[in-house]
Structure formats: structure tokens, C-alpha cells
Structure 1
Amino acid sequence: MKKLLFFISVSCGILFAQDKMFSTGVKPLYLDATSSKVVGKLLPTTEVTILKKEGDRVLLSIEGYAPAGENIALYFVPNKRILNAGFSKNSGVKFEKIGSTNADGKAFDKLKVQVWSENTDLSDDVKPLFAQAKDLFDQNCSMCHGLHQPKEFSANQWPSMFKSMAGRTGIDKKDYQLVIQYLQKNAKDMPTK
């Protein structure tokens, strides 16, 4: 019986340790499970893998692209400013190169990092996050003019377009990045899902 309970607890730990999750908001990132020094920020809708849990923190694995040789930000896709995570200069975060590619004649590295964050504001499904962002956008961004469709602008154009008008809407500042991620990931230069 003890062996069976041990096997079940180890199996559950392994399953939890490889959970794919999505950030529901902007989350602070830390180098270790006890540090209070923020070394970066995780953006909403970014997919992460939970590697382990310690206290109220989780060790996350985050992947993304960066221009070759740069390691301050991880982007969702090469050559688009759709931020997965950004890090402070000299943060001490270790980037692992897991691939490389070219986009529009520029070299990009595919990188992975392992950093800690609070075990909150994570969802196992990105669809409700996009639905919430779409609703916020649809309800607030048609009050002064006709609603712009996400495919109307490129992924790199959307952040400045949204930010130039967001202050005139009822969208809470904490939700700005969620809406921007929705718009960017559904922009005219992104593949249709």
C-alpha cells in the first residue's frame, strides 16, 4: 500500500511538473523561489511550462525568439514585437539556445529560460483569455468610431494604435497588455488559426 501511495504521489508530481499554462496578466519574474528582486515580466497569454512548485512560487520554462545574440526579451514569433517576457539588463537570467531561424533576412535565436513566479494568475486554457480581451476591445473601442478589426493592422502597429486611444476607454490599465496580446496575435500579418 505504501508503495502504491508513493507511486501515485510521484506520478502526480510529474504530471504537475509538466503542466502547460498561460499567464492571465503581467506577472513578475524572479531568479529563485525566495527572491524579492524582480528580474523580468511575463506577458498575458504567454504559454509556460511549470517545472516545479516551491511554497507559493512556481519554476517556469518560457520559450521565445530574440534577434541573434540578444537576450533581454523573448518574442512570440521572429521579427514581430509580440512580447512573451522581458528582462532587466544584467538580470542574471540564463538563456538556453534551442534553435535558430531567419525571418525577413534577419537571424533569430529560439531561446528558453527558467525563472520563478507566483503560483497565481495562470490558466490552463488561452481561449477564455482571448475571449475576455476581445470583449473588452469590442465593448470599449467602438464608442468613438467604427470598430477596427484585428486584421486591420500589423502585429507591430497594434501596440501604439491601442495605447494612443486606450486612455479614452473604460478598459482598466491592468488589462491593456491582455488586449494588446489579443490584437497582435490576431493581426493581419499573423497566420490564421
Structure 2
Amino acid sequence: MIKPQPFKLRPPRGIVFDMDGTLTRPQTQMFTDMRRALQIEHVKIDILDHLATLPDKEKQLAEEKLAQIEESYMLKTEPTVGVVELFQFLSRKNIKYTVCTRNLMRPVLHLLETHLKGVEFCQPVVTRSFRPAKPAAEPLLHIAAAWGFEPKDMVMVGDSRDDVLAGLAAGFTTILLRHEDNAKVADDFPQIDYVIHDFHELVELLD
């Protein structure tokens, strides 16, 4: 575990998890395929920001393309090692948990029904229908407000720049799950509170 130190807050009351690359194994190629489908693979623009600029008809077609790509990768989803044990631990500790993703709801439901039977995310589950999406703080603050918790009582766990930026902007304790595709994120954001390599390390932080 990088930056080992006592948990800087009392045990959190709630944790928000990203999905792709966090609760599931990374599928980085999916985002490349999405950008190619939208013909923005060489343009520095966020995918959802690009969608927002399109006229209604073009936007609908673009959203259909993204949904098809998302569905094809959804069928190949593998859960991250230790995720079931992590949720069992959080339930025993009475720590609320949910998902904030830039995906559609269908992949979230697929993950639950296929790989996480018996797991129930606390509502609200935030998907890309919520605007603005990560990296804005609003989706995380929406969850905290729904639970009646202060940002200082909340944790964001993710693997991307969007997750880190959202967590920091919301005032959550921010934890990066590091893997082979995101090593540079930790270097670019020294203000991240913790960098972990697996969920066993997260349990150690919280236990």
C-alpha cells in the first residue's frame, strides 16, 4: 500500500465506488472503441461532453453506438478479486456503499445479477443519466446528501482521473485502486489520500 498512514478520519459512514476498472477488471480498450465510434479518437474531449454538443438526432445515434459497445464489453466483465469479501466486510461494519459510474444502468445490473448475487447497493446508484457526471463533484455530493452524510464522512474509491478529480472536488477521502493501466494517475495527483493495489488493502485501511 502506498502512503501508509493511520486513516485520517474516523471510520467512514459511506463509500462510493467507481465500476469499470474498480469493481470490475479494467477494460481500457472499451473507451478507445467508444472514441473511435464517435470519431473523436484524436480529439482531446470528454466523451460525455462531446455527446452534449451534438444535435438531438446525432446524439441519439451516438448514444446507441456507445450502448452497443458497452453491452459487448459488459458480457466479458470480470469482477475484481476480493470484491465480494469487501462488500461483506462493509455490511458487517454498517458502512453504506454504492456505485457512481459514467456507464448506463444495464451494466451495473449485469454485474449484480451475474457476479455479485446477494449484494445490494444502497440507493442512489448514480449512472451517466445524472448530469453533470464525474469528474464533477455533484454526483458524489448527491449521494452524500441522500444519505444525510457530510463529505468528511465519505470515501471515493476509483481507478481513473475522473474518480480522483470528483473525490477531491467533493471533499471525500479519495482512494485510487492502482492497476497496470493507470499507474500515471497516482503520479499526477499527489493529493490522493491513499493508493491501494487490491481490496484486501482497503479492508486493512478500514478495519
Q: How would you bin the TM-score normalised by the shorter chain?
A: under 0.3
Q: TM-score when scaled to structure 2? A: 0.22
Larger-Rg structure: 1
Greater strand share, 1 or 2? 1
Greater RCO structure (CA 8 Å; 6+ sep): 2
Greater helix share, 1 or 2? 2
Q: TM-score when scaled to structure 1? A: 0.23
